[in-house]
A = this chain, B = another copy of it.
């Protein structure tokens, strides 16, 4: 893709692309992962590639839900590890919760590549946030030996850890698939997702949906979690939040 100067107006977007194509070369991604990223890019284009006000609200609500949970977990797939693995480990450290790899097209090679990438990222995160180095080093990285299953979901994507996804009351899961989101909600869990498509089944099913680009919203989430994120709103209206985001996108068309 060549060198891109930091001053390039689309620097962040081009860097995200590079992170993903590198991850694909490293065997971390399924065939369709780059296509999924491209779909996200199109919706981000409609957002003007910036975090909109309704997204700031859903990030704050997610921070509050995670902080006030009994037991939370951060669930990651290939694209998530490639784009924001180290940042999400930092979130997990602040929340004192595990991070769990759960992928749709599960193969031993991809799981190995992802777990290995997360171990490297955990070290990098500890260097980047020395004040949190201890907590970061203690973050559990789950996914290697799942001992539970998400009910009503077929295939290997249902596999999960009993001390991770299975027992958590609140899950932060960027870039989720619609089926699994529905299955987690059916289990009575609070599911906070990050999804650029406000019309997707995941976006419409989740408890709280952050419609924003991953590498842009996770730093905001970290900042909120570092402070006290405040109390969550039991009457959070996710549908209204999605409509507000759609209105932002509509203005782009008009």
Q: Which of A1-52 contact B (CB under 8 A)?
A: 1, 17, 20-21, 24, 31-32, 34-43, 45
Which single residue of chain B is at the shortest CB-CB distance from A24?
B31
A27 to B123, CA, bound (A): 35
Task: Give how many A residues have a beta carbon under 8 Å from the other chain's beta carbons.
Answer: 25
When distances are taken between beta carbons in the complex, the residues of chain B under 8 Å from A220 are: none
Q: In this assembly, does A197 line the interface, its C-beta being within 8 Å of a C-beta of chain B?
A: yes
When distances are taken between beta carbons in the complex, the residues of chain B under 8 Å from A144 are: none
The stretch that binds B, out of A89-97, A185-193, A222-230, A246-254, is A246-254
Q: In this assembly, does A153 line the interface, its C-beta being within 8 Å of a C-beta of chain B?
A: no
Decide if A20 touches B42 in the complex (CB within 8 Å).
Answer: no
Copies per assembly:
2
Q: Is the interface of A mostly helix, strand, loop or mixed?
A: helix
Decide if B21 touches A32 in the complex (CB within 8 Å).
Answer: yes
Q: In this assembly, does A199 line the interface, its C-beta being within 8 Å of a C-beta of chain B?
A: yes
A253 to B37, CA, bound (A): 21
When distances are taken between beta carbons in the complex, the residues of chain B under 8 Å from A17 are: 31-32, 35
Which single residue of chain B is at the shortest CB-CB distance from A155?
B2
When distances are taken between beta carbons in the complex, the residues of chain B under 8 Å from A252 are: 199
A70 to B190, CA, bound (A): 64
Q: Which of B1, B45, B246 contacts A31 (CB 8 A)?
A: B1
When distances are taken between beta carbons in the complex, the residues of chain B under 8 Å from A34 are: 34-35, 38
Given known A42-B197, A43-B42, contact A35–B32 (CB-CB < 8 A)? no
When distances are taken between beta carbons in the complex, the residues of chain B under 8 Å from A249 are: 253
A residues within 8 Å of B by Cβ? 1, 17, 20-21, 24, 31-32, 34-43, 45, 197, 199, 246, 249-250, 252-253
Which 4 pairs of residues, A with B, have the shortest CB-CB distance? A38-B38, A42-B42, A34-B34, A35-B38
Q: Would you list 24 pairs from A and B whose C-beta atoms are within 8 A, ordered by A residue?
A: A1-B32, A17-B31, A17-B35, A20-B35, A34-B34, A34-B35, A35-B35, A35-B41, A38-B38, A38-B39, A38-B41, A38-B42, A39-B39, A40-B42, A41-B42, A42-B42, A42-B43, A45-B197, A199-B252, A199-B253, A246-B253, A249-B253, A250-B250, A250-B253
